[in-house]
């Protein structure tokens, strides 16, 4: 099987580089070389935690001069550590304000699964509101004439080719479900909502990524795993597509029990 997603290749190569980095602590590489090797990854997915992780794996974190040189080399390559840190702090403050608004906000419960080459999203009662085929590039197939049916995030974040594809499919379906919940919130003009998202598979999911997407939709995410009783997993057995546009998304919201009437 040949990887068709460039980001899948990036993740696999990243893991190999990390293993080599641990071995190279005995033979430290120049900060410029380390920065050059990881700059593209960090421009695509900026993270201070990831930068610090790389610095530790190459023995740069314990030497202030080499660490500062590493950050300077990254800056020259378009990766601004301080700018990333400020963005992360801002997102944290935004989430705190959103969490306060969501205390008395309506709630949404959705089931989501991706398996058997399909994805499905269900209401709390198990009614399917969205179902379709997994795009071929997330199934490891080399077909060019298939149109994606759900928004796709190409990052996988899982070990092994098969696990990487499974994690990518689960994450793409989960992001799709979060976007649907965001549309439901917007349809009711609610300033915030609480989303209880029940996934059939959690291994390999980047929870931080899901929370980021949820926050952008003014949702506070509560992630639950239930692989055995998932109606979404069962719905993946049925091939008939279900278009979410035909569902009443506003009906997904349930009022907060503690909210004043």
Query: 148 and 54, same structural domain?
Result: no
Whether residues 119 and 34 fall in one domain: no
Q: How far apart are the first and last CA of the chain?
A: 57
Q: What are the helix (H) ranges across the chain?
A: 6-23, 31-44, 48-57, 64-76, 81-102, 161-187, 207-216, 231-235
Cα→Cα distances 225→41, 46, 73, 110, 203, Å = 30, 28, 41, 12, 10
Q: Are residues 48 and 103 in the same domain?
A: no
The more confidently predicted of residues 239 and 13 is: 239
Confidence of residue 26 (pLDDT cuts 50, 70, 90): low
Q: Are 56 and 107 part of one and the same domain?
A: no
Question: Is 114 found in the same domain as 51?
Answer: no
90 within domain boundaries: no
Domain-located, residue 193: yes
Q: Verify that 47 and 106 share a domain, yes or no.
A: no
Q: Which residue has the higher pLDDT, 26 or 112?
A: 112
128-133 and 193-199 as β-strands: parallel, antiparallel, unpaired? unpaired
Confidence of residue 83 (pLDDT cuts 50, 70, 90): confident
Of 79, 114, 131, which residue constitutes the final position of a domain? 79
**Which of 243, 217, 233 is CA-nearest to residue 129?**
243
Q: How confident is the model at residue 165 (pLDDT cuts 50, 70, 90)?
A: confident
Residue 1 has pLDDT above 60, yes or no: no
Average pLDDT value over all residues in the chain: 80
User: Do 109 and 235 share a domain, yes or no?
Assistant: yes
Q: Over 80: is that where the pLDDT of 21 sits?
A: no
The answer to whether residue 91 is domain-embedded is no
**Which has more confidence, 152 or 117?**
117
Identify the band that residue 3 occupies on the pLDDT scale cut at 50, 70 and 90.
Answer: very low
98 and 185 in contact (C-beta within 8 Å)? no
Q: What domain range is 127 assigned to?
A: 99-252
pLDDT category, 153, cuts 50, 70, 90? very low
Per the domain annotation, does 208 fall within a domain? yes
Among 50, 79, 108, which residue terminates a domain? 79
Report yes or no on 132 lying in a domain: yes
40 shares its domain with 148: no
Give the dihedral sign, CA 141/146/152/154: positive
Classify strands 118-122 and 128-133 as parallel, antiparallel or unpaired: antiparallel
131 and 46 within one domain: no
pLDDT at 256 over 80: no
- Claim to verify: residue 139 and residue 44 sit in the same structural domain: no
3-state helix, strand, coil in the chain (%, to 5): 50, 15, 35
What was the pLDDT predicted at 147? 37
Residue 160 pLDDT > 50: yes
If asked whether residues 225 and 163 sit together in one domain, one would say yes
Residue 258 lies in a domain: no
Last residue of a domain, one of 24, 51, 79: 79
Q: Could you tell me if residue 207 is inside a domain?
A: yes
**Total count of domains within the chain:** 2
Please report whether residue 89 resides in a domain. Answer: no
Residue 238 has pLDDT above 80, yes or no: yes
Q: 50 and 155 share a domain?
A: no
Q: What is the pLDDT of residue 144?
A: 44
Of the candidates 105, 112, 142, 107, the one whose C-alpha atom is nearest the C-alpha of residue 126 is: 112
């Amino acid at each position: 099987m040949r990887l068709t997603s460039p980001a899948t290749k990036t993740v696999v190569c990243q893991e190999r580089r990390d293993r080599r980095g641990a071995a190279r602590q005995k033979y430290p590489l120049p900060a410029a070389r380390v920065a050059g090797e990881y700059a593209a990854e960090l421009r695509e997915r900026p993270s201070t935690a990831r930068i610090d992780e790389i610095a530790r794996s190459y023995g740069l974190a314990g030497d202030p001069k080499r660490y500062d040189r590493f950050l300077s080399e990254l800056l020259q390559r378009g990766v601004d550590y301080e700018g990333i840190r400020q963005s992360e702090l801002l997102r944290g403050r935004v989430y705190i304000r959103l969490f306060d608004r969501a205390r008395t906000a309506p709630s949404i419960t959705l089931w989501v699964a991706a398996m058997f080459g399909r994805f499905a999203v269900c209401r709390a009662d198990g009614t399917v509101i969205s179902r379709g085929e997994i795009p071929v590039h997330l199934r490891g197939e080399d077909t060019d004439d298939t149109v994606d049916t759900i928004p796709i995030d190409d990052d996988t974040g899982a070990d092994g080719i098969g696990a990487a594809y499974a994690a990518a499919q689960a994450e793409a379906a989960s992001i799709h479900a979060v976007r649907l919940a965001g549309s439901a919130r917007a349809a009711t003009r609610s300033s915030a909502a609480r989303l209880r998202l029940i996934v059939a598979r959690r291994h390999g999911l980047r929870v931080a990524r899901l929370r980021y997407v949820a926050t952008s939709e003014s949702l506070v995410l509560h992630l639950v795993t239930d692989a055995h009783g998932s109606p979404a997993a069962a719905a993946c057995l049925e091939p008939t597509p279900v278009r979410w546009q035909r569902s009443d998304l506003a009906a997904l919201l349930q009022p907060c029990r503690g909210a004043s009437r």
